[in-house]
Amino acid sequence: MVARVIPVDPFDLVIFGATGDLARRKILPGLYRRFYDGQMPESARIIGAARSNMDDAEFRTFVEDAVREFVSKRKCEAKALDAFLECLSYVPVDALGTGGWKELAAKVRPDVVQAFYFSVGPSLFGDLANRLHKHKIAGPDARIVVEKPFGHNLDTARDLNATLAKHFNEDQIYRIDHYLGKETVQNLMAVRFGNMLFEPLWNAQYVDHIQITVAETVGVDGRGAYYDKSGAMRDMVQNHLMQLLCLTAMEPPSKFDPDAVRDEKLKVIRALDPVHPDDIVRGQYKAGDDSASYLEDAENPDSLTESFIAMRVHIANWRWNGTDFYLRTGKKMKARMSEIVVRFKEPPHSIFESDTGQSANELSIRLQPNEGMDLRVTIKEPGPGGMRLIDVPLDMTFAEALGEEVADVPDAYERLIMDVIRGNQTLFMRGDEVEAAWAWTDPIIDSWTRREDRPHPYDPGSTGPEDALILLHRDGRRWRDLRK
């Protein structure tokens, strides 16, 4: 199977923060892969902009090193890499001053698609937007890409949206959440709305509960000071898990159109009930044999910030009334895994004897690692001895089902950047969507802040605090196992 590659129009992409870690690991290697696969025209320009004082040649060396580190050797052909590097240039720019802006204005072409990637801290978003306008660099159809966090709470999110709106219309602002660019996340919509098999059953009548897990094995070392001001709720639940929840629970949009999709996602967020404190478990990882504790990584021995959170939420609408959604995310856990699990109800009446076993269908959507899906169905256990029921998976791991070509499926960032160039906002968050998510999140955070709740300690390499297991056990359920 060969993926169909659709070229994009000529463009100028300015990457602010082009020498930063995100640009080095994701953005620049991703752009090279799109160039290698023929999706990026040779007339495209990628302009690096940052505080570092380097020239074009030094920037090209920096990019070449990044490509060789993060792109497979098979694609690092000298001819293709040299041609890609010819598309690059660099301008030292002072985001808070005047330096470099006239030089940048001279480089950006007015007659091609213009995109400006803000790969910088959110405190600089407003300054960059103002200077792009002041120096008349961004044309009337220019697009800006902004990274999370989109504010720290509802007030700051509103302020940020208002700042960007001074110079850019909503259809020019691309709030990027790389989870929405993952192949399996988009396949979730294909499975739901492209198959008659699932959508009639995708409701409270047939679904027992849904689990959404984003687990990481790493801690916060190296970014403890930042993380201690956010925590798992702000860093993961308010954006990544919220987006997965919306795509899982939303109504079918009228068409696969940016605003139609985002309208349905917004309805889910606005239908979320407030969460009772008893339905929330927060945790902090302890020290391991050869690793520091969260308190040590954060350099704050009195920190009440969570590195783990699990919660039960409800959606107050016709489709999901009475269905439990369980969200879980944490650092230093047993395995790195992102997964959505839809557990269907057991048959209302079993025609088999009680000793044959009880079972229920389960659809698992794996986002990482080993992207794919499996559907557990009940069959008779092979062999003599009467009727015995067991669950077996109908497994579709992309790497196995689609062969070697799956390795060429674009990374989330490269797909999303190409969507920016195309002007397709389907997989990006809208301003009112961001504000609605904060409007639901803020009271939850305020509640435990007022009570000065201390997170539960948990062992690194575990599945989180014991209380997170109890959260499901009291409902007669269990978390899906974290598999290495």
Q: Is the Cα dihedral 305, 310, 313, 319 positive or negative?
A: positive
In eight-state DSSP terms, residue 315 is: B
The answer to whether the beta carbons of residues 90 and 19 sit under 8 Å apart is no
In eight-state DSSP terms, residue 26 is: I
In eight-state DSSP terms, residue 137 is: -
User: What angle do helix axes 183-194 and 242-249 make, rounded to 10 degrees?
Assistant: 20
Secondary structure E strands in 431-480:
456-458
Distance CA 403, CA 1 (A): 8
Phi-psi region of 108 (alpha: psi -120 to 50; beta: other; left: phi over 0): beta
**Which positions are annotated as active-site residues?**
240
Q: 139-173 b/e with 16+ CB inside 10 Å = b?
A: eeebbbbbbbbbbbebeebbebbeebeebbeeebb
Tell me: cis bond preceding 149? Omega within 30 of 0 counts.
yes
Q: What is the number of other CB atoms lying within 10 angstroms of the CB of residue 54?
A: 17
